[in-house]
Amino acid sequence: MSKLQLFGRPYVIFEASNKNHRRYFAEFQQRSAWGNCPVRFVVDDDTGDLITMIQRKLIDYYTNREFGKIAG
């Protein structure tokens, strides 16, 4: 293991229900950079694209919050 891995920002999976995660993404959108984010988000599905994954999770989160779970 590299020493850089010991002191790097921790890897986490983006959770739309986590207020801090939403704030980190909002800061990323304003700055177009992850430099101030205290964590590193990882892709947890087959999209292969971090930004798309986060956007989809946020859409689901706010849609469910607005309309509740829709049976389908």
Count of structural domains within the chain: 1
CB-CB contact of 22 with 14 (8 Å): no
pLDDT at 64: 94
pLDDT at 68: 85
Q: Which residues contact 9 (CB under 8 A, 6 or more apart)?
A: 37, 38, 39, 40
pTM score: 0.83
> Does residue 72 sit within a domain?
no
Q: Which residues contact 21 (CB under 8 A, 6 or more apart)?
A: 12, 14, 15, 41
> Does residue 44 sit within a domain?
yes
Query: pLDDT tens digit string along 6-22?
Result: 778 999 999 999 999 99
Domain holding 52, by residue range, is 3-67
> Does residue 12 sit within a domain?
yes
